[in-house]
Chain A
Amino acid sequence: MSDRTRAAFTTTDAWTLVSPRLIVARRITLSLAYVLVAAGVVALFLIPAVPRWVAIGAAVVAVVVFGWLWWLIGRRVRSFGYCERGDDLLVTSGIMFRRMVIVPYGRMQLVDVKAGPIDRWLGVTTVQLHTAAATTDAKIPGLVPADAADLRDRLAQRGEQRTAGL
């Protein structure tokens, strides 16, 4: 994107971006999902009752959407970033719907670290923060597992020092 968008959020903070390996992981997931779509398109070609132009149209749409999603994944992954400040953590993400959330360490109730099978294979992990508000939604995908574990430990430690009542 990203320089233009990022500029809006950067000002004085040092943002950490996530690993580009997340792009690979997400594109693999997309491709796997597209196996089903491809099967559907092939079926349209094989069923005699379906006019040929409908099948061709479906194939074109499927290819265009695939290309668009492929491209969007790259932009979306590059839009993720986080920044650890003295008292809080900043997390930013999004292309279509941009967001930046500031989560005070003292408000963190739980830090989740999770990775699906493809993520594990490629060595990327998601760190997610939870506060008492369901709307906080601070998720940092695409971290190298060691970094993720370090980040979790740092966050948990700072959270403990600053825990505030509700």
Chain B
Amino acid sequence: MAGQQPPSNVGDDLGLGFALPGGVPTDAQGRRKVHPISPVVHAVTAIPIGIIIVIAFGSGGLFAGDARVLAMAAVALVLVPFVVGAAAYLSWRKLSYWFDADGDFRVDSGVITRKERRLQLSRLQSVDVAQPLFARLFSLAEVSVEVAGQQGSKVSLRFLTLDEARSLRNEILARSAGLRHDTAEAPETPIATVAPRDLAVSLLMRSVTFFLLLVTVVILVVTVMASGWGGLGLALVTGGVPILIVVTEFITFFNFTVSQSPDGLRLRFGLAKTQSRTVPPGRVQAIEFVEPLLWRKRGWMRVRVNIAGMGAADSSGNREETLLIPVATREVAHGIVERVLPGLDLAGMEWHPAPDRARRRSVIQWQRLAYAWDDSVFVARRGRVTRHVMVIPHARAQSVRFTQGPWERPLGLGSVHVDTTPGPVKVSALHLDAGVAQELVRAESDRAERARAQDRSIRWAAPDTTNEA
């Protein structure tokens, strides 16, 4: 199915032939509402939960054909979706969203506790359109809006028809960029796609995964040669965990597509749940290039990114790894980064390595430890087996930190960290000469101060400001 999608379609609908009526439903005050069929979708989503409950509590009696258990199972299968659907209906009635006179995005919700949220679109971080599996059955989509600097500011509207979801996203993006809200949908040009085969191969060749799979093979061989079964349990762990991770990431990042639109980079990915995510330029907080040992022969790298409010821990504590691309050749990766951090020139920078005595603190990676900077960014690198290069624009630094651990102190070493918003990227120049590190902290803080004073990228598309790049 790679490359077959029309460019403006989020995912491919599983298409059960439902043609839901379009149009935006509104309430008495003219505020918009999510699609009335949404409670049904929530109810359908709950069916697997009902099945799990039945299997967990009644599997014994179920297979034995116990009539009472069967009856209870049937009740659970009906009851769980019904209760979920009824609750979803009540919250559907209370949920409305609109743009207020100040141009803020407002969402009122809550059956028992009323919640009135006001999202300041000038601080917009991202608008995502996602199609969870069950919503895809109905050709519906979910829109998530996040703004910076507010805990729990993420608002998810479940569910809108795909067309409405896309037009709402465009409206929010246009308003946040300081354009008129009726600006037409931004056209987009594809930049890069990750072929499923490349994704699978790359996931298997990541350093830790590959090492664990190798260990598993060794354990299996030894177990078979010793003709015992003792190693199987261990092999299940060392082999099972990485395979689970590979499969999860494969499903999450399947068919990863990057395209350029005037709103920013648009990322699309996912097998079961398809997601579409827009990364506005100027909202990228930090970037990291990751090159595992076995990827280097093919010239592959992964690009991680910190975007404030995005990829933060969700309610269940899972932290998503926010990526610009899961795997790409060096040229493609740098081409993508060029669009969010124009003018980045890693090769032309003057690298300042950690002193030789850093080998007594970090035996393996000490030779790779170094930092560099130019007029707009600070860069640090680390890692010998898996290479990491971390980039942060001076203007995005939150604070600058010097640290010295008990191992570093006797060696006269110290580390410098440029703090950024929560995300997968941590920018640290490790194990430098302590004196150099102390000067670097102050120098970097000054550079950040100057860069902040010149930064114009908050309302990057508004006509009266110019992006400094």
Query: Do residues B419 and A165 form an inter-chain contact, with CB atoms below 8 A?
Result: no
Query: Do residues A99 and B402 form an inter-chain contact, with CB atoms below 8 A?
Result: yes
Chain B residue, CB-CB nearest to A165: B458
Query: Do residues B308 and A104 form an inter-chain contact, with CB atoms below 8 A?
Result: no
* Interface of B, helix, strand, loop or mixed by DSSP: mixed
Chain B CB within 10 A, most for which of A88, A99, A165: A165
Query: Do residues A102 and B403 form an inter-chain contact, with CB atoms below 8 A?
Result: no
- Complex Cα spacing A96 to B421, Å: 26
Quick check: is A54 within 8 A (CB to CB) of the other chain? no
Q: Which parts of B270-304 form the interface with A (CB within 8 Å)?
A: 283, 285
Query: Do residues A104 and B449 form an inter-chain contact, with CB atoms below 8 A?
Result: yes
Residues of B within 8 A of A99 (CB): 401-404
Residues of B within 8 A of A98 (CB): 402-404, 409
Given contacts A8-B434, A109-B149, A166-B148, contact A101 B400 (CB under 8 A): yes
Mask, B438-450, CB within 8 Å of A = 1, is 1001100100110
Mask, B417-448, CB within 8 Å of A = 1, is 10111100010000000100010011001001
Stretch in contact with the other chain, from A44-52, A69-77, A131-139: A131-139
Chain A CB within 10 A, most for which of B125, B285, B400: B400
Chain B CB within 10 A, most for which of A131, A132, A134: A132
Query: Do residues B449 and A100 form an inter-chain contact, with CB atoms below 8 A?
Result: no
Quick check: is B228 within 8 A (CB to CB) of the other chain? no
Quick check: is B399 within 8 A (CB to CB) of the other chain? yes
Quick check: is B136 within 8 A (CB to CB) of the other chain? no
Given contacts A97-B406, A135-B419, A165-B455, contact A107 B398 (CB under 8 A): yes
Query: Do residues B399 and A104 form an inter-chain contact, with CB atoms below 8 A?
Result: yes
Quick check: is B123 within 8 A (CB to CB) of the other chain? yes
- Complex Cα spacing A161 to B171, Å: 32
Quick check: is A87 within 8 A (CB to CB) of the other chain? yes
Quick check: is A127 within 8 A (CB to CB) of the other chain? no
Quick check: is B396 within 8 A (CB to CB) of the other chain? yes
Quick check: is B452 within 8 A (CB to CB) of the other chain? yes
Mask, A77-110, CB within 8 Å of B = 1, is 0000000000110000010111111111011010
Of the residues B404, B419, B434, B438, contact of A133 by C-beta under 8 Å:
B419
Quick check: is B23 within 8 A (CB to CB) of the other chain? no
Quick check: is A30 within 8 A (CB to CB) of the other chain? no
Chain B CB within 10 A, most for which of A101, A103, A166: A166
- Complex Cα spacing A100 to B416, Å: 10
Interface size on A, residues (CB 8 A): 27
**Cβ distance A10 to chain B, nearest Cβ, rounded Å:** 11
Query: Do residues B455 and A96 form an inter-chain contact, with CB atoms below 8 A?
Result: no
Quick check: is A65 within 8 A (CB to CB) of the other chain? no
Quick check: is A56 within 8 A (CB to CB) of the other chain? no
Mask, B103-127, CB within 8 Å of A = 1, is 0000000000000000000010100
**Cβ distance B324 to chain A, nearest Cβ, rounded Å:** 18
- Complex Cα spacing A165 to B396, Å: 9
Quick check: is A146 within 8 A (CB to CB) of the other chain? no
Quick check: is B410 within 8 A (CB to CB) of the other chain? no
Residues of B within 8 A of A164 (CB): 452, 455
Query: Do residues A101 and B399 form an inter-chain contact, with CB atoms below 8 A?
Result: yes
Query: Do residues B449 and A87 form an inter-chain contact, with CB atoms below 8 A?
Result: yes
Residues of B within 8 A of A8 (CB): 434, 438
Query: Do residues A100 and B402 form an inter-chain contact, with CB atoms below 8 A?
Result: yes
Query: Do residues B399 and A107 form an inter-chain contact, with CB atoms below 8 A?
Result: yes
Mask, A148-166, CB within 8 Å of B = 1, is 0000000000000000111
- Complex Cα spacing A97 to B402, Å: 10
Of all A-B residue pairs in the complex, the 6 with the closest CB atoms, nearest first, are A133-B398, A133-B419, A165-B458, A98-B404, A131-B398, A102-B445
Other A-B contacts than A8-B434, A99-B404, A100-B401, 19 sampled, CB-CB below 8 A, are A8-B438, A98-B402, A100-B441, A101-B399, A101-B400, A102-B400, A102-B441, A103-B399, A104-B399, A104-B445, A104-B449, A131-B398, A132-B398, A133-B398, A134-B422, A135-B426, A136-B399, A136-B401, A166-B123
- 22 example contacts (A-B, Cβ-Cβ < 8 A) are as follows A8-B434, A8-B438, A9-B438, A88-B449, A96-B406, A97-B403, A97-B406, A98-B403, A99-B402, A100-B438, A101-B399, A102-B400, A104-B448, A106-B452, A132-B308, A132-B421, A133-B421, A136-B398, A164-B452, A165-B458, A166-B123, A166-B396
Binding site for A on B (CB under 8 A): 123, 125, 148-149, 283, 285, 308, 396, 398-406, 409, 417, 419-422, 426, 434, 438, 441-442, 445, 448-449, 452, 455, 458
